[in-house]
Amino acid sequence: VRQSQVRCFSIGQLGADCSTACARCINGSSCVNNRCEDDNECLLGTHRCHANALCLNVPLSFSCTCLPGFTGDGFSCQDIDECAAVPCSTLHTCTNTVGSFTCQCRTGYTGNELTCTDINECDRGSE
């Protein structure tokens, strides 16, 4: 009596029938309702994107892109020092923050992140 050999195989196409016991969907996909369906690694949390990166699901895989204010390949993202590019006026002090920056008027000036005007201490009177 000769034993029959069952040959298992991987299915390389999304939407293919995976209902047989030995059929296996390729990496990046799973058998759902007897069809190979793409795994959404971003939703499943199985991606390896950096905490400061955006995960994008693509067929059978995923891609990572650093968020604005960060640089890198998506798997490793470093904060950009925006103050190095001098984004504030000379009347401001630039403070780098994680993923961004702030501009504050220097001492002796008043205003907002866009404009600063000199405080005329003579107009204040004596206190």
**Residue from 85, 122, 83 nearest 103 by CA:** 83
Q: What is the pTM of this model?
A: 0.71
pLDDT in tens, 92-102: 999 999 999 99
Look at phi and psi of residue 86 and say left if phi exceeds 0, alpha if psi is from -120 to 50, else beta. left
- % of the chain exceeding 90 in pLDDT: 65
